[in-house]
Every structure is written in structure tokens, then in C-alpha cells.
Amino acid sequence: MNIRPFDYSDADYELYVRLSNAVYPDQPRTLEALRHFDATKGPGEIAQTFFIEQAGQAVGWFAFMTPRFNPLSGQLEVEWGLLPGHEPLSEALWGALERELARHRPGALVTRVREDWPQAAFYMARGFEVYDRMWPSTLDLGRFDPAPFQRPLPESIRIGTLADLDYHSEAVQRRYYALVTALLRDVPSAQPVELWPFELWQERSMKDKNLIPEANFIAFEGEAMVGVSQLWRSPRPQTLQTGLTGVLPSHRRRGIALALKLRALEYARQQGYRYVRTNNHQVNRPMLALNEALGFEKGPAQLHLKKSLFVKEEL
Ligand SMILES: CC(C)(COP(=O)(O)OP(=O)(O)OC[C@H]1O[C@@H](n2cnc3c(N)ncnc32)[C@H](O)[C@@H]1OP(=O)(O)O)[C@@H](O)C(=O)NCCC(=O)NCCS
């Protein structure tokens, strides 16, 4: 078994996408998303990928990185995969990953894995523990009837989209960022939430090719933004992916999130999409209740695993 670092060439990007999609076909990756990920690395963030080769052929990879969606200090997120038939290399791969990781002296490793995949047991056997769970769920628009859900919004509330605003201007982006970050802080989650600074958010979200300004639905009260529901382009066929949905605490339980989601579903239907997907923390009862009522159907849970490490010299 030979190990070599990812060299950032076009060929290596293509190889990574090919391997990843062969091992995890239900979590499709695109070249564009990988390049965007690398191009928007934050200051001081770590991201390294290595290929596993046998007889000169890449048969797997491992990678570790500063967690993108919650970059908590001291944590590194790990991932790996081996093509079918090469699973016996997993022990050696893990040993190599640990050696490469050690130079960065992480305080904890985190990863995400589907509950029904063999990797879940692999991680548990190596001291990882479940600290959070998320449910992906999907609504089939072919079977969705919005009529029973329609109800009037409070008179002071109007729904628009990011595309209605001058969203390239920093002033609008800062207002949107303020809303999004206030709501993200409020999403029930098992770990503290570390938010991206404005400039990184601008690069990662506003310049993401998967951003659809017309499908970022915003609830306004006068000029104030009080709620949001976002749809993003997805590598899954016929599918749009839900991003953040949220309503400021002062405006909850008045049907605003429901109205935002209905607008988003109507947009998806009008654009010819068949499915809308979403991901929710299993502890997020309010959001789950809303999605369950609309008819989203859950898939196998995604486990969030963590292993705390300590540095021996510091004992
Ligand atoms: C989840 C959230 C978006 C709901 O917003 P909202 O505008 O209050 O929701 P609505 O008024 O449209 O509620 C619609 C339905 O959802 C369900 N629901 C909403 N909040 C609920 C709660 N706290 N508990 C149980 N069910 C709830 C109910 O079925 C409700 O209908 P009802 O009021 O007739 O009972 C809001 O609580 C929120 O912003 N939470 C923090 C951010 C977050 O966690 N977002 C999801 C992660 S992406």
C-alpha cells in the first residue's frame, strides 16, 4: 500500500470525485463543490487529503480538515473511503491517517457517518462516540398538495426573496448575514456553534454557484428581515436542498416558517424539480414537527461522532 498526498491537479480533483462517488453514491460530490471548498479555506484552517494506492492504482483516500460548518478550535474532521473489495486496507489506512494527523495535535476528531453504514461500527471500535444525530428527509413534490396548509400571514408580514434586493451590495449582505447568524445561533445543536466571520460567509455562501437568490425566501416586517427559508442547487437529480429555515424568536408561532416553506416548495415545483431535501437535528422538535406535517419522509440518520484526544506530554 502506497500513500501519496493530493496534488491539487485537475487529475487529482477528478480522481477524488470519482472515488468518493463510487464509495458513497448517495452523497454525490461535484468537482465544482470541491474546488469551491478549497478556494474558500479560512485563515489558519487545515485541509489535507491523501490517496491510498495499490499496484499503482488509487483504491481509496483519507482526509482531515477544520470542520467546515462548525469550525470549533482544536477539532479536526476526518473522512475516508476504500473502493469495494479493498476494505481489508482499512486498518493500515487508519494508522496512516493517525500518523498524519498527529502533527496537528488536534484536541478531538469528529466525523459524520450514516447509522447503517459499516464505517459507523469502525469508528465506534476506535473510541468515537455519538454526540449528535441528524435526519435527512425528502418531500416528493409529485405527491404534495399545499392546499390544506394555506393560512393567512399576519398583516405586517410580507415574503420576498434575496433576488428582489440589491444582494451584491455589502449593505444588503450584512443585513442578511445578521439574520442568518442570529438564527443559526438558535438552531438546537449538541455543540456550541462557531459562526463564519462575514468575509468568509460572503465567499462561501454568496459566491457559491449553488446559491439561488430567487429561492432564498425572506420574511419582512417593514424593512426588517424576520425569517428565512433557503433552497440550494443539489448534485442529486431533480432535487433542491433546503438550507437554513428560521424565524426570529419575537415572530414565532405565527405561521411565518410555514409560509416560507410553502413558497419554497412552490418555487421548486414551478421550476420542474421533483424532490426537496432537508437535514434536521433529531432534537429540533419544532422544525421536525413542521417538516413531518408537510410530509417530508426521513432517511437513515447521519451520526455525528467525536473522539476526544489528549497529548501525552501534557499529562
Ligand atoms: C422552527 C422554526 C423555524 C419555526 O418557525 P415558526 O415561524 O415559529 O413556525 P410556524 O409558526 O410557521 O409553525 C408552523 C407549525 O410548525 C410546528 N411548530 C412550530 N414551532 C413549534 C414548536 N416550538 N414546537 C412544536 N411544533 C412547532 C407546529 O406544527 C406549527 O403549527 P401550529 O403553530 O399551528 O401548531 C423556529 O422555531 C426557528 O427559527 N427555530 C430556530 C432555527 C431553527 O432551528 N431552524 C431549523 C434548522 S434549519
- What's the pLDDT tens digit per position in 97-130? 999 999 999 999 999 999 999 999 999 999 999 9
Pocket test for ligand 1, best of 253, 265, 279, 282 (most atoms within 8 A of CB): 253
Return the best residue to mutate from 156, 287, 292 for the ligand 1 pocket (most ligand atoms within 8 A of CB): 287
Q: Write down the domain spans for the chain.
A: 2-106, 137-301
Is 287's C-beta closer than 6 angstroms to any atom of ligand 1? yes
Domain 2-106 and domain 137-301, same fold? Reply is: yes
Range of lowest pLDDT (184-198, 263-277, 290-304)? 184-198
- For ligand 1, atom 32, name the residue with the nearest CA: 253
pLDDT at 83: 98
Binding site membership of 254 for ligand 1 (Cβ less than 6 Å) = yes
Q: At what angle do helices 10-23 and 31-39 cross, to 10 degrees?
A: 120
Residue 57's pLDDT is 97
Task: Please state the atom number of ligand 1 nearest to the C-alpha of residue 188.
Answer: 44
In contact, 217 and 263? CB cutoff 8 Å = yes
Q: How far apart are CA 292 and CA 137, in angstroms?
A: 9
Q: What pTM was computed for the model?
A: 0.95
Could you tell me the distance, in angstroms and rounded to a whole number, from the CA of residue 290 to the centre of ligand 1? 6
34-54 average pLDDT score: 96
Question: Does ligand 1 have an atom closer than 6 angstroms to the CB of 252?
Answer: yes
How far apart CA 204 and CA 41 sit, in angstroms, is: 9
Report the pLDDT value the prediction gives residue 314, as an integer from 0 to 100: 46
pLDDT for res 190: 86
Please write the tens of the pLDDT for every residue from 216-229.
999 999 999 999 99
Is domain 2-106 annotated with CATH 3.40.630.30? yes
The CATH number of 137-301 is 3.40.630.30
Q: Is 253 in the pocket of ligand 1 (CB under 6 A)?
A: yes
pLDDT at 315: 43
Residue 287 CA to ligand 1 center (angstroms) comes to 5
